[in-house]
Structure 1
Amino acid sequence: MPATPAHSSGSMESAYSPPSRSSSQSPIRYAYDSPTRQIYAETDRRRRRSNQRALEMIDSPSRQLMVEFGQMMLHSEAIHNLRLDQATADYVKPQQEILAAAATQHARLLRYAEGELRIELMELERQRIEAEIMQARRDEAKRIELLRIERQKEDEAREEQKRAAAEQREKELREQQLKAEQEKEARRVAELEAEQQRQAAQAEADRQAKAAADAEAAEKARQAALQAQQSQQASQAPTATAPVAIAQHPQLSPSTLTATLLERKTAELAAREAEHKRYLDLHKALKIFRNDVEAHNKDHAQDPNALGTIRRRVTAEAGKVSANKAANAKAAAAVREILREGVSAKFSYMSTVDVRKYIVRPIPAISQDSEAQYPTMLLYLLNILAKRIVNQFVSEGIKDYNPIDPLGLMAVSIFSDDEFKWKGVSLFDLVLAKLHAQCAVLFGIYGKENTEQGRKRLGWRREGGEYDDPTTYMDRVRALGAGFASMTLRQFNKKIPPIPAIEFWRALECIINVPSEEVTATHYYVLQGMLKGFVEKLIIQFGPEALVAVKMAVIDFPKRVTEKTPNADSVRTAARTVEVLADVWKRDLGLTLA
């Protein structure tokens, strides 16, 4: 018996409905995680419920069967689509994970690349800045070198002008001397004639006087004989004893002792002044000598420019001294080769000169004047070297004390070479003459800084009628003090220094023993140059006595300034530059003087 439509409908629905989750068969997994699938499933449920209601309203079994078959086909298609969607989702998910991992790796690589790029850009920027700095240094060095060359040319131009002026003055002086000699010869002839007339008159007067004297002598002899005869008749007179004086040792009173010390000090000052004058005369003689050599070269040299070339070579090599010991040794060797070239056949037309006129220190006795001959060209080049060294002291000392020490070493090393000496005597007086002219305080010579005569004694430069400003002058004498220390505080194993270390001690003594009412700012600036940078060498050279002297110089001597000191304010300022050396040495060297 056929089932009722309602029953059939219920059977068909139950037969083709989706299996439940509690079925023993493998359940169909519905992926409702996608919003689109959820909407589709919801729509499908609504349609099935609508179809269920419509099916319940159909009374024909065949129609109901057709409807159910259609629903079954739709449901089968939906199941198929869901399975396709699930398979697609299962396939897409690993790909998406791979893409996500690739994106993460890409982002990491991008960050790494950006970091490397920043590092590379920073390195390029550093290299650019470093290149700019190096270029700036090269430009600055080039500018300084050009400035030095320009200054050297200006110095040479000024020297040339001075030389021309000196030649003109010398020419005028020769003319004046010639005129004076002619006048002197005329006066000599006139005086000779007058002397002859005077001698003739004197001879006549002497003859007459002799005749009168002979007559007077005869009369005196007669009177003496008469008196002798009368004395024999006279009685003998009693003799009286004379008191014997008792010899006593002389006693020195305080006034006598003071007078003795004063005489000794006066004699010492006179000796200093005499020696200073000899060096100043040598300084003037060297200027005349240089002009004579250059004039002789102009008249007799096959190549008139050779003298200027070799002079500039000496100046250039001496100017290469720096903190590099190897470079300094090379420069000193080059200077020696130039000096040897000066006595070669290339300058044979220069002949020789009597070197005794250019030496102040004691010289050995010689039997013939020919033994005093010295190569003119070598003396000329040594004088150029001495001038360059002193000028280099000033130019380097204004900037820094370090280059002065190797420069002093070059000076004493070359002037101590036997091949440049005369009979074992060094020509270092060429250097000392320039120091006497520019920094006489080193040798106990000084004067008032606010007077014309005092400045002249102290060595103030005067160009164009105007003296150097105080700052320039003080920088110069400070540098010369340092240069003096660099040359005197030397010890050699195989050579004798051209200037002994005791000269430094003597200069130090001359400065710190100046009375309070005579001390000047120059004393303190020169003292600062002598001690700053050289106190260790001083202590090595003289030992414990040096510590006592240094203490007197930097602690006691600055206190010498009083209100009675001329220009007390400026002198007190200079004294402070010496006073602070004690603190500097304590900080840098661990040297305590107090």
Structure 2
Amino acid sequence: MYILNAELTHEYLSSPYKMSRIMTTQRSGRFSSPRTPRSTIDVTTTSPYRLATDSPSRQLQWELQQLAISAQEDFNAQLDLENEQREALHKEALNEATARHDRVRREAEQARAQLEQQILAEGRRREEEAQKETDRLRREEEQRLAANRKREEERARAAELEERKLAEAQRKEIEAAEKRQLEIRRKDAETARRLKEEQQAVTRRKEEAQAAKVEAAQNTPAPISTTSAQQAQQALQPTRSAHPNTQFEEEHQRYLTIHQRLKELRKGMASQAKQNAGLKQAMGDMRREIKKSVGQVREGKGANQNQLRNIMNVLRKAATLAEPSVDVTLYLASPPQQIDDPKGPALLVYLLNIFAKAIVAQFVDEAGVKPQIADPIGTVASHIFAISDLRWKDISLIDILIAKFHVVCPVLFGIYGDEQSYEGKRRLGWSKEEDGGPFMPQQRHFERMTGLGAGFAGISLKNYEKARAKNPYPDHHYWQALARIANIPSDQITQTHFVVLKGMIEGYEAKFLHFFGDAAIAALRHVLVELPKRSPPSVASKALAGLPDVLRREKKLVL
């Protein structure tokens, strides 16, 4: 071991860098403290300065260099070790990341595979459901087609049966029509003979009166005044028959009386309703329901089932209420002679009056402009008055409706008058726009008469041959109305009569022929061809005379 130069040692240790190198060397164990030296440097073998003559400072410098080199090598070795450790750590981290990535990738692939399986399963399920739905729809379509075929077969069988029944009915109807025609011809011949005898008697009376006047004028010395001359001239002209059929007038008055009694009943029911809140509410609801349902009647097969059902329900409910009661025979034109109890439900009679009024209003307002709507309205009216539950002691109360027709359209029942006079217009059914005002214009009057004529035909030309209910107003009433108008004296027939005839006939030719056969053809020829010819010319008569051309063109019916 050697002793370092004090100055050199101080110089070396005073340098911070050199001191740090020494401290590093100490920490690494390569440079021990003087007290506990780790090893002894062999100067003779390792130092180039082995001789005593060498400078100690150089020797110290070399030793220090050796120490620095050793420290640097240790430091580099430590760095290499740390680099290796970090590299190992990095590789380990990379391996872990790679393994984690592989695990995530595998999990993602597994999830994707599961999702694909789910998608495929869902697709198969949807395909199966679609196939099931297709099969269900196909089965339903096959069932529907089978049901349609069955219905068509049933309809065909029903139509065939109906045709057979219709052919049999037509055969019977033709036989009955032939019998009726023979009876009508006999009656027409008797009527013509009677009219001819009456005309001859009138002619003889006129001739006798004229001869008496001439003889009296010749025996009188005084000159004839101007007034007497005019009277003689008028006596020579044909006189207008101003005496209507007494039987028709009596019948007309009976129905007018019924109409007046219905007005009184309406006032009486209103008076009772004021004292009974429940009755007032029920009457109001029933009246509104009837008016609403009648106002909704329209064309089309089965189109009025709901309306008819609502009206029947209201009237049947009223028929079950015995009180208040009323003498029902007061509202019948030909009441039974012997009856134990003439009482019946007043509310039913009241509501039938409301129903009849609504029906007539529909004829006036709707059928006047569109005559074909009169047939379904007439069907509803006829059906209601035919229902057994709404009859009184098996007697239909349709006289309530016919009383309305006697008021608004008297010409249907053989009534006539001078169309140019106030009283004549009133008798012919001219209406006023308002009470106390003038009569309505001619065009509006003709529309009303058209609708009422069509409505009367819609009620009276109803076929009940296959129905269990009794016909409340059989077809002979139509024939009777047609005959009464046609037999009015030519000088008394008016445009109102022609308008009503046109409304009764147009659109109802087929039904008329069905009921009366050849007799209907003869009647149509008389009414549409002969009657306009022997009557004063007018717009209405020309319109009626044009119907034969329409029948020839559209119905192939030649009169």
With the shorter chain as reference, the TM-score category is 0.5 to 0.7
2:283 corresponds to 1:311: no
Partner of 2:552: 586
Task: Tell me how far 1:361 sits from its aligned partner.
Answer: 2.1
Match of 2:198 among 258, 268, 274: 258
Which whole-Å deviations, capped at 9, do the CAs of 1:40-97 have from their partners, x for residues lacking one?
xxxxxxxxxxxxxxxxxxxxxxxxxxxxxxxxxxxxxxxxxxxxxxxxxxxxxxxxxx
Match of 2:250 among 274, 290, 299: 274
SS at match of 1:466: coil
Partner of 1:326: 302
Partner of 2:471: 497
State the TM-score, normalizing by the size of structure 1. 0.52
2:433 corresponds to 1:457: no
Partner of 1:413: 383
Task: Tell me how far 1:404 sits from its aligned partner.
Answer: 0.8
SS at match of 1:374: strand
Task: Tell me how far 1:260 sits from its aligned partner.
Answer: 11
Which whole-Å deviations, capped at 9, do the CAs of 1:309-353 have from their partners, x for residues lacking one?
2101001111111112222122111110011222456xx7x4211
Match of 2:338 among 331, 349, 365: 365
Partner of 2:328: 355
Partner of 2:488: 514
Partner of 1:23: none
Greater alpha carbon shift after TM alignment, 422-431 vs 529-538: 422-431
2:278 corresponds to 1:302: yes
CA contact (8 A) 2:244 2:415 kept: no
1: CA distance, partners of 2:294 / 2:331: 22
Aligned sequence identity (%): 35
SS at match of 1:327: coil
2: CA distance, partners of 1:255 / 1:386: 38
Map 1:101-250; keep pairs closer than 5 Å.
none
2:397 corresponds to 1:427: yes
Partner of 1:43: none
Match of 1:573 among 539, 556, 559: 539
CA contact (8 A) 1:363 1:425 kept: no
Task: Tell me how far 1:274 sits from its aligned partner.
Answer: 0.6
2: CA distance, partners of 1:446 / 1:376: 34
Task: Tell me how far 1:505 sits from its aligned partner.
Answer: 0.7
CA contact (8 A) 2:289 2:310 kept: no
AA aligned to 1:528 is K
Partner of 2:62: none
SS at match of 1:424: coil
SS at match of 1:388: helix
CA contact (8 A) 1:297 1:304 kept: yes
Task: Tell me how far 1:533 sits from its aligned partner.
Answer: 0.5
Partner of 1:285: 261
Gaps of 5+ in 2: 1-192, 203-240
CA contact (8 A) 2:319 2:389 kept: no
Which whole-Å deviations, capped at 9, do the CAs of 1:386-430 have from their partners, x for residues lacking one?
111111111111221221101101111110111111112111111
SS at match of 2:368: helix
Partner of 2:123: none
1: CA distance, partners of 2:244 / 2:423: 21
Match of 1:540 among 514, 535, 540: 514
Partner of 1:236: none
Partner of 2:411: 441
Task: Tell me how far 1:261 sits from its aligned partner.
Answer: 9.4
1: CA distance, partners of 2:327 / 2:368: 37
2:451 corresponds to 1:485: no
Greater alpha carbon shift after TM alignment, 324-333 vs 403-412: 324-333
Give every structure 1 segment of 4 or more consecutive aligned residues whose post-TM-superposition deviation is greater than 6 Å: 253-256, 259-262, 265-268
1: CA distance, partners of 2:320 / 2:527: 49
Kindly report the root-mean-square deviation, in angstroms, between the aligned alpha carbons of the 2 structures: 2.4
2:364 corresponds to 1:401: no
Relative to structure 1, is the Cα distance of residues 288 and 547 closer, same or farther in structure 2, using a 3 angstrom cutoff? same
SS at match of 2:484: helix
Partner of 2:523: 549
The number of residues matched between the two structures is 325
Relative to structure 1, is the Cα distance of residues 429 and 322 closer, same or farther in structure 2, using a 3 angstrom cutoff? same
2: CA distance, partners of 1:521 / 1:310: 39
Which whole-Å deviations, capped at 9, do the CAs of 1:344-371 have from their partners, x for residues lacking one?
56xx7x42111111111242511x3xx1
CA contact (8 A) 1:478 1:528 kept: yes
Task: Tell me how far 1:266 sits from its aligned partner.
Answer: 11
Report the structure number with the largest CA radius of gyration: 2
SS at match of 1:353: strand
2: CA distance, partners of 1:260 / 1:294: 57
CA contact (8 A) 2:369 2:447 kept: no
Quick one: higher RCO (CA 8 Å, sep 6+), 1 or 2?
2
